[in-house]
Amino acid sequence: MKILNKISQCRNNVKELKKKGQKIGLVPTMGYLHEGHLSLVKAARQQCQKVFLTIFVNPTQFGPTEDFNRYPRDLKRDFVLAEENRVDYIFSPEAKEVYKKGHTTYVEAGNITKKMCGTYRPGHFKGVVTTVLKLFNIIPAHKAYFGRKDYQQLVAIKKMVEDLDLDIEIIDCPTVRGKDGLALSSRNKLLEPKQRENAVVLYEQLKQAEKAILSGERVPRKIKDVAVKALKDNPFIQKIDYFDIRDAKDLKKLNDIKRGKDILIATAVWVGGTRLIDNIVICK
Amino acid sequence: MKILNKISQCRNNVKELKKKGQKIGLVPTMGYLHEGHLSLVKAARQQCQKVFLTIFVNPTQFGPTEDFNRYPRDLKRDFVLAEENRVDYIFSPEAKEVYKKGHTTYVEAGNITKKMCGTYRPGHFKGVVTTVLKLFNIIPAHKAYFGRKDYQQLVAIKKMVEDLDLDIEIIDCPTVRGKDGLALSSRNKLLEPKQRENAVVLYEQLKQAEKAILSGERVPRKIKDVAVKALKDNPFIQKIDYFDIRDAKDLKKLNDIKRGKDILIATAVWVGGTRLIDNIVICK
């Protein structure tokens, strides 16, 4: 496994691989790897000849009051996990290698980034989309792998790829969960044991909502009310940013639930000082 | 010469050329070709093995009250000129091929696009930069050629390339002028004979300002006042958007002129209903 810190190293390696006609898979992460990330690596490993993993805690996707400094990091451990999972190249640049002094260019993917998490984290998706585009330009892979846990991020990236005519295939992989159902997230590390235990209420309420829809409930408001009440009743949930039922494609809110389109049930809540998100998609 | 209308055709042709290791030059234009465009083609012809010319009157760079509909077009003539100048591929898509229904992603290159023409044409550079990025993705060439007449556009594109880590070299070529000195522009076609004759005042005043600076004048205000007066005195100049002396690199206004940096003298004025721009750069 080669560890790269410089953009020029990435370019040179990719050029050599492409000359040989090798298919390249890219797994962009913020590090502190867990089984969710590793499932992306495994998918890339199966579909591509060479796998690039990037580890970059992207400063531009954190707001000024957010947890950039608190975000868990452990590069040494990440390198071991990456090597065990047969990653070929790691790109783990310093922030200043990616965002040079005087950087001013940003990409906005439009309306789909203004709702849900975009309402509560203004500028977040601008930072995500810009950084992902930069990574795609630095490592012009054939396929890039993203988890469905960050569902809105996935939709924004797909929209950017489509609108900007990027020649890369976005592969989305299922959310990986703990035994109790909690979606794996590097941020889970920040939870106290009691918080961690109670955090499963997100998944429970998503499943509850899914069950209601599958049983024929057509009024999102009713489903939402049940979920919000249960979340509020849990003393470890500090705040509910949203619990929404939306069109899984354009993220528009649904007023009534008609099967025939994919339906997204998504939530973002605060467990203590840690913001967790999760979702379930019901396919038509 | 191959004429392409579809993104997929561009991709396939570029892939074939790259497999053969051929260097590709890209000349993005809005058509109605003149000697300025052809000088870009000639430069590309000299430096690259294959030359792509794009002809796309980009709707997103025109404001709602601007001259999108009036902008001169003559594809048939353009094809003849392109062929005569040994262009290998023309990409002349319909607007809906490039901007599909529901397009929402845009790129902003930051502060440098907010001044000068950006003040008078809000959204213009957002449209330019987004479209140029899309063209770079559709035809991932090794080098792309732009004229210095659209100086702020050139700076914005270079900034975007740098900030988004694009692997393409931007080559800027000198402004081509008529016998009297007027910068060639497709929009010159829109001028009445008397307007055309008087439009040379732009270049005359740029040259006057250049002369003053080269003679040691250090106060931009003084140089500007002379130029603005001369422009105002010409009855064919309807309106002066700006006549500015700036740092040629970051486009910041200069309060006094110190040699040792490149200096941009740039102007935008209205000759009747037609907006013309021109500039001179004094190199350190």
The residue in chain A having the minimum alpha-carbon distance to the alpha carbon of residue B109 is A105
Whether B165 sits inside 8 A of A138 (CB atoms) is: yes
| Residue numbers in A near B105 (CB within 8 A) | 107-110, 129, 159-160, 163-164
| Residue numbers in B near A159 (CB within 8 A) | 104-105
pLDDT at A259: 76
Whether A163 sits inside 8 A of B105 (CB atoms) is: yes
Phi/psi of residue A224, each to 5°? -65, -45
Helix (H, G, I), strand (E, B) or coil at B17: helix
Comparing CB atoms, the residue among A11, A105, A130 nearest residue B159 is A105
Nearest CA to B212 among B256, B220, B283, B241? B220
Whether B167 sits inside 8 A of A137 (CB atoms) is: yes
Comparing CB atoms, the residue among A105, A107, A167 nearest residue B105 is A107
| Alpha-carbon gap, residue B25 to B51, rounded angstroms | 5
Helix (H, G, I), strand (E, B) or coil at B131: helix
Question: Does residue B126 belong to the interface with chain A, where contact is any CB pair within 8 Å?
Answer: no
Question: Does residue B138 belong to the interface with chain A, where contact is any CB pair within 8 Å?
Answer: yes
- In contact, B50 and B21? CB cutoff 8 Å: no
Q: How far is CA A169 from the centre of its chain?
A: 16
| Residue numbers in A near B133 (CB within 8 A) | 164
Whether B106 sits inside 8 A of A107 (CB atoms) is: yes
| Residue numbers in B near A12 (CB within 8 A) | none
Q: Domain-by-domain residue ranges, chain B?
A: 2-173, 186-279
pLDDT of A235-253, one tens digit each?
999 999 999 999 999 999 9
Reported ipTM: 0.95
Nearest CA to B160 among B203, B112, B194? B112
Query: How many Å lie between the alpha carbon of A232 and the closest alpha carbon of chain B?
Result: 36
For tokens 């002379």, the residue is B226
Whether B105 sits inside 8 A of A105 (CB atoms) is: no
Phi/psi of residue A145, each to 5°? -115, 130
pLDDT at A76: 97
pLDDT of A22-50, one tens digit each?
999 999 999 999 999 999 999 999 999 99
What positions of A carry a catalytic annotation?
37
Query: How many Å lie between the alpha carbon of B220 and the closest alpha carbon of chain A?
Result: 26
Residue B36: in which H helix or E strand, if any?
Answer: helix B35-47
| Alpha-carbon gap, residue B24 to B49, rounded angstroms | 6
The residue in chain B having the minimum alpha-carbon distance to the alpha carbon of residue A168 is B137
Mutate which of B56, B104, B105 to test chain A, going by most A C-beta atoms within 10 A? B105
Whether A105 sits inside 8 A of B164 (CB atoms) is: yes
Residues forming beta bridges with residue B263, ordered by sequence position: B247, B282
Whether B105 sits inside 8 A of A11 (CB atoms) is: no
Tokens of B181: 């000195």
pLDDT of B144-162, one tens digit each?
999 999 999 999 999 999 9
- In contact, B249 and B262? CB cutoff 8 Å: yes
Mutate which of B135, B163, B168, B249 to test chain A, going by most A C-beta atoms within 10 A? B163
pLDDT at A260: 85
**Active-site entry in B34, B37, B103, B124:** B37
**Domain made up of A2-173: CATH architecture:** 3-Layer(aba) Sandwich (3.40)
pLDDT at A284: 82
pLDDT of B182-203, one tens digit each?
999 999 999 999 999 999 999 9
pLDDT of B205-234, one tens digit each?
999 999 999 999 999 999 999 999 999 999
Q: What angle do CA B12, A7, A77 make, to 5 degrees?
A: 115
Q: What is the pTM of this model?
A: 0.96
Nearest CA to B144 among B54, B14, B30, B22? B54
Above 80 in pLDDT, residue B105? yes
The residue in chain B having the minimum alpha-carbon distance to the alpha carbon of residue A125 is B105
The residue in chain B having the minimum alpha-carbon distance to the alpha carbon of residue A12 is B167
Superfamily of domain A186-279: Pantoate-beta-alanine ligase, C-terminal domain (3.30.1300.10)
| Alpha-carbon gap, residue A139 to A151, rounded angstroms | 23
Lowest mean pLDDT among A203-207, A279-283, B221-225, B255-259: B255-259
pLDDT at B69: 92
Average per-residue pLDDT for chain A: 97
| Alpha-carbon gap, residue A35 to A43, rounded angstroms | 12
Model confidence at B166, pLDDT cuts 50, 70, 90, reads very high
Tokens of A271: 């467990």
Can you tell me the mean pLDDT for B88-101?
Answer: 97
Residue B66: in which H helix or E strand, if any?
Answer: none
Cβ-count burial B162-187 (b if 16+ within 10 Å, e if not): bbbbbebebbbbebbbbeeebbbbbb
Question: Does residue A160 belong to the interface with chain B, where contact is any CB pair within 8 Å?
Answer: yes
Whether A109 sits inside 8 A of B105 (CB atoms) is: yes
Above 80 in pLDDT, residue A78? yes
| Residue numbers in B near A8 (CB within 8 A) | none
Size of interface A-B (CB pairs under 8 A): 72
Q: Is B7 left (phi over 0), alpha (psi -120 to 50) or beta?
A: alpha
Query: How many Å lie between the alpha carbon of B141 and the closest alpha carbon of chain A?
Result: 13
Question: Does residue A7 belong to the interface with chain B, where contact is any CB pair within 8 Å?
Answer: yes
DSSP string spanning B94-129? -HHHHS-TT---EEE--GGGTSTHHHHSTTHHHHHH
Helix (H, G, I), strand (E, B) or coil at B170: strand
Question: Does residue B133 belong to the interface with chain A, where contact is any CB pair within 8 Å?
Answer: yes
- In contact, B252 and B281? CB cutoff 8 Å: no
Query: How many Å lie between the alpha carbon of B160 and the closest alpha carbon of chain A?
Result: 6
Mutate which of B165, B167, B250 to test chain A, going by most A C-beta atoms within 10 A? B165
The CB density around residue B226, as the number of other CB atoms within 10 Å, is 16
| Residue numbers in A near B140 (CB within 8 A) | 167
In sequence order, the 6+-apart residues with CB closer than 8 A to the CB of B149 are: B36, B175, B176, B183, B184, B185, B277, B278, B279
Question: Does residue B137 belong to the interface with chain A, where contact is any CB pair within 8 Å?
Answer: yes
Model confidence at B76, pLDDT cuts 50, 70, 90, reads very high
What is the widest separation between alpha-carbon atoms in chain B? 59
pLDDT of B114-142, one tens digit each?
999 999 999 999 999 999 999 999 999 99
Report, in angstroms and rounded to the nearest whole number, the Rg of chain B calculated over CA atoms: 19
pLDDT at B4: 98
pLDDT at B61: 94
Average per-residue pLDDT for chain B: 97
Whether B162 sits inside 8 A of A11 (CB atoms) is: no
